[in-house]
Amino acid sequence: MSEDKRKNDIAEGQDDGATKESRRDFLKKLGVAAAATTVAPAATAKAASIAEHLQTHFEMMSDSQKEKAIARLEKRYSEQFEKQVTVANTPAPDGVLFGYALNISKCIGCRRCVEACVRENNQSRGEEDTRHLPIQWIRVLEMTRGNDTFQLENWHKGSPSSSPIGDYGVQSGGHADKAVGISGHVEHYYEPEQVPEENSFYFPVQCQQCEDPACVRACPVRATYRDPNGIVVIDYNWCIGCRMCQLACPYWARRFNWGEPILPNEDMNPKTHYLGNRPRMRGVMEKCTFCLQRVRDGRYPACVEACPVGARKFGNLLDPESEIRKILAHKKVFRFKEDFNTEPKFFYYMD
């Protein structure tokens, strides 16, 4: 798809030419009043200016409009957090398609990646005893080892052991009375004194940055879209908070701001990007962007740097000499929920 066509599609809200409906048309059908209260506003009146409410989709702004929008945000954030905040608009670099690889045989479940992600991306710290829950873009799933269903020594131990067609126990099979799968239990919020726990292994999940993202197809106003580097981004000022993207995502990778985010001034990371880690508002969706504000400056995502065992790798899928390309060529690699055909650029592998 050409850049011009992509921008036109965003502007017109088209879905491969099948749907011609702008964001304002969509809001009009819902009723402006309802959209402002029930669907959730793109920004609270307290936090955002009128100009911010009325601005167009970021991708469709002229350079001067973008400069003005960013200046408004820098001024507001600097006053709000009582420190000098910058909002970058670093464009996607040419010739780069970002990809991620995670070695699940190395992950120890320490969740330092989660903590680093929260700090870097200004996620709401929230409060457990209120509806303003903490927001985390990375989940680390803990599963139990050693409950494999299919074991070679049980292959011929079915019941009865003898039958007219041979001694293979084919009536019930040697695994018929065994538990199915590796484990039926997954723990999201484990809190052990020490990791890794015995007989446990860990499976971190975050936005898979799909090549054919279901969330982009689901968004009725094109607030979320795939950028030229393959990262799926969100224009927070254009998001209407309908949560269709959250319903469409098979990876549970999107988070919704139910309440006004809680971000203490001293914890706020002042180096932000418009499409990355700038503070979000109540009533909008958010998710991992591969730390867009860092990778567009040639740095690794925060979770990659924080991993103490080197389980996380990141690089350019278009470069045959990159580390991630060599991992894909020489390791045992799979993609999560591949049957959904969303073509994730997030790969899991084992040594």
Q: Is the peptide bond before 192 cis (omega within 30 degrees of 0)?
A: no
Contacts of 42 by beta carbon, 8 Å cutoff, 6+ apart: 48, 53, 236, 237, 238, 239, 240, 241, 281, 283, 284
Cβ neighbours, 10 Å, residue 67 = 12
Token digits of residue 253: 């990778």
The confidence score (pLDDT) of residue 284 equals 95
pTM, two decimals, is 0.80
Question: Which amino acid makes up residue 108?
Answer: I
d(CA 231, CA 208): 9
The confidence score (pLDDT) of residue 45 equals 42
d(CA 138, CA 349): 18
Token digits of residue 84: 């000098």
The confidence score (pLDDT) of residue 8 equals 53
Burial class (CB in 10 A: 0-12, 13-18, 19+), 330: exposed
Cβ neighbours, 10 Å, residue 153 = 7
pLDDT of the chain, 351 residues: tens digit per residue:
455 555 555 544 444 434 445 554 555 555 443 444 444 444 444 456 788 888 999 999 999 999 999 999 999 999 999 999 999 999 999 999 999 999 999 999 999 999 999 999 999 998 766 667 789 999 999 987 765 556 677 766 766 666 666 665 555 666 666 655 555 578 888 888 999 998 888 999 999 999 999 999 999 999 999 999 999 999 999 999 999 999 999 999 999 998 889 999 999 999 999 999 999 999 999 999 999 999 999 999 999 999 999 999 999 999 999 999 999 999 999 999 999 999 999 999 998
The confidence score (pLDDT) of residue 319 equals 97
Spatial CA neighbour of 335 closest among 327, 325, 344: 344
| Strand ranges of the sheet holding 200-205, from the earlier edge strand across to the other edge | 186-187, 139-144, 200-205
The confidence score (pLDDT) of residue 2 equals 52
Q: How many Å is the maximal CA-CA distance in the chain?
A: 83
Token digits of residue 298: 């040639």
Beta bridge partners of 201: 143
Contacts of 326 by beta carbon, 8 Å cutoff, 6+ apart: none
The confidence score (pLDDT) of residue 153 equals 72
